[in-house]
Structure 1
Amino acid sequence: MAMMLLGSLPIACGDDEELAPVEYPLVIEAKGDGTTEPPPGTYMHRPGTVVTVTAKPAPSADFTGWSGAASEMDDAVTITVDGNTTLTATFEIASWPSGGQSTYLNPILPGDHPDMNVYIEGGDFYITGSSFNLSPNVEILHSRDLIHWERISRVVDPAWSGLETSTSAGGGTWGGFIVKVAGGYRAYFAVNFNQYFAEAESLAGPWGAPVHVEPLDPYTPPEEDPELVQFDRGTGYDDSVFIDDDGTTYLVMKAGQCKWNAKTGGEQNNFGVNLLQKIDPKTGQLSGESIDLSFVNWNTENGGCGDPAGDPDSALEANWAEGPTMTKRNGFYYYFDSTHTGCGGVQFGWRSAKLSSEPADWTPLGAVLTGEAPWRGAQHSTAPFQIADGTWWVFSHSYECDNNWRGLGRQGLLSQVTWMDDESGAGVPVVNGRLGVPAPAPALPPSDIPFLLPVNDEFDEEKLAPAWTFYGNMPSDRYSVTDRAGWLRLKPAQGETRWAIQKDALHAKAMVVRMDFAPAAEGDAAGVRLGNAVPEQDLTAFPTWAQAASLEVSVARVRADGGDQIRFAFRSVVPVLNADESAYESTEATVVSYDVEAPSDKTLWLKLVHGKDHQATGWFSTDRLTWTQVGKPIDISALENYDTVNTGWVGNQAGVFATSASADFDLFIYRDGFTEIAAAEPDQESGTEVVSSQSEGPVLGGLENGAWAMYGSVDLGSGGVRSTDIALKASSAKGGAVEVWIDPLAGGRRVAICDVPATGGWDTWTTVTCKVDAAGSHEVYLKAKGGSGEVVRLASLRFVPGKD
């Protein structure tokens, strides 16, 4: 019997006979996160055998090339085995491009973020503004790149006694600004038109009890008349702070509107007050010295008082020089004030070489910020500020005035400022446009902070996450995250409703809750809801100009008509004026609702879905995999396009509620990844554009190689369910691919590469499904991959659930 040896040794059959070896080994190796086809190993082949080997990177890795028997970069390589052969495939973990975001998309702060002021310390930026009746009050946000923001603290405890008379819609805390002092920080804010401050060693808190800023004196209109009504100007509202080059700190104060009924007979007298008042840095109190800029109220051409009976959307009507801010540049002082805060509002500027109460020393600069569609109410800005690269920026707020989304409130917008200077260095600030389209981003280091959206929450911390708020003063005995570990318990009294809420921030989403609740008595209810800021409030107490309404949509488990029901409902209360239009009359609620019998399970999943077409649907499930729809879609456009000035200034709120009986919530999901997400609604993007499709409507287009879109706060699985695949509805003229990343700015990974075939045209769509194994709450990035030109268009994305 002949002996066969591996390798290059000959086979001996006689003293001088040499024969070629029968087989040679082919050794296939894989280095890094990937494999090959055939898999790595040793394979025996006869000489001259031709073998094709294909590199198969893991979803998170890239194939970087072959070594050994081949050096090509192609995924598949063909080699001829004619001796001992080794072939190695090398893989490297895919990395997101380094560097900061090149473009950004407004709103940077989606949802209601009004009356902002910026505090800067080194490379860190902080924002605070109005909370109104949403407590805990005075939210402080932090950023390093001006695009990504995180909540770090809330200053005012809901139990603070100063809020006891100011818990209704429109009450609470107004404005806010931050000052650094010896030993820490002061956060100022207004309650009932008076300033307070709280102190802390760190902006993350904890914060001390608020201290009242004592006013200097009451204000009487400059006219001798026994019928004049004295107006206590307090210390203002929506104030800001200005610190001069020598460190002198000024309260930039506004008190009173430009027209005030100062006589008992009803005659109107102008006496809006705009002051710069020195702050004692040691005490935080006013020092008694002030500069009077109240003249800005009088001249309509430069932003002062107009006729409040005129067009409410006119730039020069119903103005009151509010939200004052100040900055200094090239030795000149720049003062800014705003008109009314709704759509059509305008911001005006003034410039002076010195701080002076003399109108002649101030040059009016006219309207410096007027907004553009859909942000036609952009104003009430922060003071312009400079960053490290020398550029200037400003934050403003605005409703989406032209897109039927006023219900989201006054959202936070970022704009670059350029200066038109004369030879002396005196300038006019010009706020660059492009509010509604991608714009060049600030040249700041990249940030791993997620984009600020409502949070998906499993309630597994000992304290409620700072994204959550309550209407008015929420007593500590009415909720708990410790009574039952891992659950939020709402504990209303009989006949009472309690809400835990977050700022609504998206045009379209699916909110999901997992709830443990069994309604026992008639009227018991609990579930998920979206509504405005005046639930259970006496709307007849609102002024007639407010046009107040209470609106909310919900999916809830209720006890009604003696039965245990799942109810999907839209409730609307709109009071009407009496005959002489001098006051509101109360009205009954209008309710559109659908009920189905609840399943026997005490623990259920509820889902509230609404899209950018303002159609909402309600659903329930026992496992989050199979859903049952409740009734038909309901049009909620009245809620989503409601001007929140009419409901106490606060935008719509999303969250959970319980009525008359305690309910436990194991999970709240603001943006369910298992429900279709419109691709044309990214939260941030780079290199994309929204285009129109005849069959799909607005879709995401313009995706060339490397372009991406980000969708924040997406839940990819929780409560025993996780993502197994992603389904992309896509079109492509020539074929391409879409990379799916989660949290790449925070060191996350690529989880899939989805190949998109040529579909025959940009309006011919196919659904591509590829494997994804993920769970939890993430930012999802879709990144185009392919050759030159436009690679792919996307209509929607949806993750596919499976059991965890």
Structure 2
Amino acid sequence: MRNHRASLLAIILLGSLPIACGDGEPSAPLEVPLIIEAKGDGTTDPPPGTYLHRPGTVVTVTARPAPSADFAGWSGAASETDDAVTVTMDGNKTLTATFETASWPSEGQATYLNPILPGDHPDMNIYIEGDDFYITGSSFNMSPNVEILRSRDLIHWERVSRVVDPAWSGLAASTSAGGGTWGGFIVKAAGGYRVYFAVNFNQYFAEAESLAGPWGEPVHVEPLDPYTPPGEDPELVQFNRGTGYDDSVFIDDDGTTYLVVKAGQCRWNGETDGAENNFGVNLLQKIDPETGQLSGESIDLSFVNWNVENGGCGDPAGDPDNAVEENWAEGPTMTKRNGFYYYFDSTHTGCGGVQFGWRSATLSGEPADWTPLGAVLTGEAPWSGAQHSTAPFQIADGTWWVFSHSYECDSSWRGLGRQGLLSQVTWIDDESGAGVPVVNGRLGVPARAPALPPSDIPFLLPVNDAFEEEKLAPAWTFYGNMPPDRYSVTDRAGWLRLKPAEGETRWAIQKDALHAKAMVVRMDFAPEAEGDAAGVRLGNAVFPEAELTAFPTWARPASLEVSVARVRADGVDQIRFAFRSVVPVLNADESAYESTEATVVSYDVEAPPEKTLWLKLVHDRDHQATGWFSTDRLTWTQVGEPVDISALEDYDTVNTGWVGSQAGVFATSASADFDLFTYRDGFTEIAAAAPDQESSTEVVPSPSEGQVLGGLESGAWAMYGSVDLGSGGVKSTDVELRASSVKGGAVEVWLDPLAGGRRVATCDVPATGSWETWTTVTCEVDAAGSHEVYLRAKGGSGELLRLASMRFVPGKK
């Protein structure tokens, strides 16, 4: 057998050496080698290797970077930076293509979009230590209570801990949906920290060495002497006003710490018989730094409740003609600047509420010492309830900022609760340095971001969870006290097990935060007895039906939920998609509620034989929900028809227990195991016009596609957080972008760039001829897990393209 390998080697060697003719003179080689090399994450066309060419041949070589890399340029036989280069073979040559891992962004986020804290984040207070910012607020009856969040750039927040164990005995007398813990603020203490919060209109605090916990048993803050309304005889009229709710803390320049108290509502009605009276009291009470208790010194600022022009209810004499019953000076905060004290309060916590301010050169209880500043924060659509703000605070570059909360009052999304908004504050000063704070910019449009270092913390949204830890992630909560024997993440490794008693339902839930999403669970459950059920759910606070009838008639409460579940009903194992609404019914004279009425829209199909199934609950920006099931997460079967759930997504939580919508899983009467919860499924279409954060984009109307994302010039981007790109044996193999373009462009798809993530695709969008001619562009990707997905425009000048939607394509791992 001939040795072809040896013959080929001889040809290569001969081709690289001059060959002598009969007269002894050397002649040109028959072929010369071109050695192609690639450095970094990429290849070439033709691939790297050694190629023989006749002298004078012109060879074209093209650089092919990997999706996560950029072509940096050629060296050796060429020095151009174009992807394709030509080489004339006039001798032995080496050509090297160099690739660099794509890196973006190089700076912090330049603009931001509210809400910074989407979902229910009411009654916030801020604590600053070094480069870290911390926020606490009201939990109500969502436990574990008193969530602490941390940030370094004021835009990206992470959960640090929860302070109050739901089994704490102090919560036993406050079990309604609107009960639990109200407000919250952090104080530095010797050896650690104290977190204050209210239960039943009284303050408590818990202590820990670190804000990450563990936290000790809460301690009751003992009230001071009973309060006497102005002008009354203290021997005749005294009331124990407790220590308030939605309080905050103020620390003066000398370190003196004050509890900024709000107790009660509205006005003193003049009763002198000793009966309890819910008149409003606003106080500054000194805190003993050693004990955490009140020291006994108090400054009375209750006059703010009686100033109608500046948010109060009316005068202390109880004149009904001067009463404004829906206003009271609540949510008080205080800051100090240029030697002046600034006191802030809100008229009420719902839509239309207004933040008012007062200024004084001295910390006193004399009304004459305080100058009313009028409304210092009034919201604009859709955040027309912006108030209940933190105290304005200053950051390293000298700018001032404030957080407030608001419903989306001028839309159909009040069910998400009072969401967290960030605003910059400027001060209009006179010659003495006395100022008036002015909140900058409109809340509903992009604004300049704080000049702080970039953060690698993901944008705060509900988490996608595979339950791989020995404790539930801090994003998870329960309605009220969830006894430890009713759930487990250790009974079966990698699974969350809900273990309700017979006739009981148990939920594991997170704050709902998006206008549209697809929630997916993988569940191991077979209902055996009639009424057994388990699945995925979106709903408002859970109320016993009898409790709904106890609401005042103006409240119009309702218990609302939509779910996809496996159930046993009428003796059949079924998949059920249902929307349930329970509302109270008025009596004949409409003076009170006398009963409740349930309305259920549901669809049932027989369940497949497999015990382990995937369930999916989808709802879009038009409040249309659909239910689905699957045996492999690749092929889905729809259950019934779409259902309108706008009643759930537009309910006003002020009237129904304060708590915003919650998303998660449940089980009824029998144990169920979940090894995956996905809040935002990347395999279901995501509307491009609803990014969680963006830069230099705009939402524009499209007659054919509805609202779309436009204004995409080169470098503009949109971010979609908490997207599940594959779990449970499934991964993303492609991404589909629904796009239009007049002149063509490209979209880079990045995963977690703020945390050093990678670019997974660059999708070329061809010129479609008009903004209303749409095409679906498909690009190959290889990704799994939960990520922040950034879509970044790339190309020439002007608007390059518009995007209607994004969807990742699933495949088996």
Range of TM-score over shorter length:
over 0.9
Number of the residue aligned with 2:196: 188
Report the 3-state secondary structure (helix = DSSP H, G, I; strand = E; otherwise coil) of the residue aligned with 1:522.
coil
In the alignment, is residue 547 of structure 1 matched against residue 556 of structure 2? yes
Q: In 1, distance between residues paired with 2:16 and 2:52?
A: 13
In the alignment, is residue 671 of structure 1 matched against residue 713 of structure 2? no
Number of the residue aligned with 2:464: 456
Shift of residue 782 of structure 1? 0.6
Q: In 1, distance between residues paired with 2:492 and 2:287?
A: 47
Number of the residue aligned with 1:204: 212
Structure 2 residue corresponding to 1:214, chosen from 202, 211, 222:
222
In the alignment, is residue 170 of structure 1 matched against residue 142 of structure 2? no
Number of the residue aligned with 2:653: 644
Structure 1 residue corresponding to 2:439, chosen from 431, 454, 457:
431
Number of the residue aligned with 1:719: 728
Per-residue deviation, residues 189-233 of structure 1 (Å, max 9, x unmatched): 000000000000000000000000000123354576999986431
Stretch of structure 1 that moved more, 517-526 or 578-587: 578-587
Number of the residue aligned with 1:294: 302
In the alignment, is residue 506 of structure 1 matched against residue 508 of structure 2? no
Report the 3-state secondary structure (helix = DSSP H, G, I; strand = E; otherwise coil) of the residue aligned with 1:638.
helix
Per-residue deviation, residues 529-578 of structure 1 (Å, max 9, x unmatched): 00001243421122323211000000000000110000000000111222
Q: In 2, distance between residues paired with 1:265 and 1:734?
A: 80
Q: 1:280 to 1:268 in 2, by over 3 A?
A: closer
Pairing of 1:330-369 with structure 2 (within 5 A): 330-369=338-377
Pairing of 1:645-664 with structure 2 (within 5 A): 645-664=654-673
Contact persistence 1:713–1:778 (CA under 8 A): yes
Report the 3-state secondary structure (helix = DSSP H, G, I; strand = E; otherwise coil) of the residue aligned with 2:368.
helix
Structure 1 residue corresponding to 2:78, chosen from 70, 91, 102:
70
Report the 3-state secondary structure (helix = DSSP H, G, I; strand = E; otherwise coil) of the residue aligned with 2:554.
helix
Structure 2 residues without counterparts, runs of 5 or longer: 1-6, 316-322
Structure 1 residues without counterparts, runs of 5 or longer: 308-314
Pairing of 1:257-656 with structure 2 (within 5 A): 257-259=265-267, 263=271, 271-305=279-313, 318-537=326-545, 538-656=547-665
Q: In 2, distance between residues paired with 1:250 and 1:265?
A: 32
Pairing of 1:234-249 with structure 2 (within 5 A): 234-249=242-257
In the alignment, is residue 700 of structure 1 matched against residue 709 of structure 2? yes
Matched AA of 1:513: V
Q: 1:566 to 1:433 in 2, by over 3 A?
A: same
Q: 1:404 to 1:129 in 2, by over 3 A?
A: same
Q: 1:375 to 1:6 in 2, by over 3 A?
A: farther
Matched AA of 1:563: V
Q: 1:237 to 1:226 in 2, by over 3 A?
A: closer
Number of the residue aligned with 2:91: 83
Shift of residue 97 of structure 1? 2.4
Report the 3-state secondary structure (helix = DSSP H, G, I; strand = E; otherwise coil) of the residue aligned with 1:790.
coil
Stretch of structure 1 that moved more, 8-17 or 510-519: 8-17
Structure 1 residue corresponding to 2:110, chosen from 85, 102, 112:
102
In the alignment, is residue 780 of structure 1 matched against residue 789 of structure 2? yes
Pairing of 1:737-776 with structure 2 (within 5 A): 737-776=746-785
Shift of residue 407 of structure 1? 0.2
Q: In 2, distance between residues paired with 1:262 and 1:183?
A: 46
Report the 3-state secondary structure (helix = DSSP H, G, I; strand = E; otherwise coil) of the residue aligned with 2:437.
strand
Q: In 2, distance between residues paired with 1:267 and 1:693?
A: 62
Matched AA of 1:544: T
Number of the residue aligned with 1:311: none
Contact persistence 1:306–1:318 (CA under 8 A): no
Structure 2 residue corresponding to 1:138, chosen from 140, 146, 150:
146
Q: In 1, distance between residues paired with 2:314 and 2:697?
A: 43
Contact persistence 2:266–2:325 (CA under 8 A): no
TM-score (norm 1): 0.97
Contact persistence 1:133–1:169 (CA under 8 A): yes
Report the 3-state secondary structure (helix = DSSP H, G, I; strand = E; otherwise coil) of the residue aligned with 1:800.
strand
Shift of residue 735 of structure 1? 0.7
Q: In 1, distance between residues paired with 2:693 and 2:234?
A: 60
Q: In 2, distance between residues paired with 1:387 and 1:467?
A: 28
Matched AA of 1:56: R
Report the 3-state secondary structure (helix = DSSP H, G, I; strand = E; otherwise coil) of the residue aligned with 2:534.
strand
Aligned length: 797
Q: 1:261 to 1:614 in 2, by over 3 A?
A: farther
Matched AA of 1:629: Q
Matched AA of 2:53: H
Report the 3-state secondary structure (helix = DSSP H, G, I; strand = E; otherwise coil) of the residue aligned with 2:375.
strand
Q: In 1, distance between residues paired with 2:601 and 2:108?
A: 48
Per-residue deviation, residues 330-365 of structure 1 (Å, max 9, x unmatched): 000000000111110000000000001100000000
Q: In 1, distance between residues paired with 2:296 and 2:276?
A: 29
Q: In 2, distance between residues paired with 1:592 and 1:165?
A: 35
Number of the residue aligned with 2:4: none
Contact persistence 1:228–1:262 (CA under 8 A): no
Shift of residue 82 of structure 1? 1.5
TM-score (norm 2): 0.96
Q: In 2, distance between residues paired with 1:492 and 1:645?
A: 30
Report the 3-state secondary structure (helix = DSSP H, G, I; strand = E; otherwise coil) of the residue aligned with 1:666.
strand
Q: In 2, distance between residues paired with 1:341 and 1:580?
A: 30
Number of the residue aligned with 1:310: none
Q: In 1, distance between residues paired with 2:35 and 2:16?
A: 15
Number of the residue aligned with 2:320: none
Shift of residue 15 of structure 1? 4.6
Contact persistence 2:356–2:375 (CA under 8 A): yes
Q: In 2, distance between residues paired with 1:229 and 1:55?
A: 87
Q: In 1, distance between residues paired with 2:14 and 2:381?
A: 77
Q: In 1, distance between residues paired with 2:268 and 2:789?
A: 51
Stretch of structure 1 that moved more, 230-239 or 52-61: 230-239
Shift of residue 792 of structure 1? 1.4
Contact persistence 1:739–1:752 (CA under 8 A): yes
Number of the residue aligned with 1:43: 51
Shift of residue 317 of structure 1? 6.1
Contact persistence 1:691–1:701 (CA under 8 A): yes
Contact persistence 1:261–1:268 (CA under 8 A): no
Number of the residue aligned with 2:318: none
Matched AA of 1:205: G
Q: In 2, distance between residues paired with 1:730 and 1:7?
A: 52
Structure 2 residue corresponding to 1:803, chosen from 778, 788, 812:
812
Provide the alpha-carbon RMSD of the alignment.
Answer: 2.0
Shift of residue 19 of structure 1? 2.5
**Aligned residues with identical type, % of pairs:** 88
Report the 3-state secondary structure (helix = DSSP H, G, I; strand = E; otherwise coil) of the residue aligned with 2:225.
coil
Per-residue deviation, residues 470-507 of structure 1 (Å, max 9, x unmatched): 00111111100011110001011111000000000000
Matched AA of 1:661: A
Q: In 2, distance between residues paired with 1:550 and 1:689?
A: 36
Number of the residue aligned with 2:799: 790
Report the 3-state secondary structure (helix = DSSP H, G, I; strand = E; otherwise coil) of the residue aligned with 1:545.
coil
Contact persistence 1:301–1:316 (CA under 8 A): no
Shift of residue 621 of structure 1? 0.2
Report the 3-state secondary structure (helix = DSSP H, G, I; strand = E; otherwise coil) of the residue aligned with 2:800.
strand
Q: In 2, distance between residues paired with 1:123 and 1:225?
A: 50
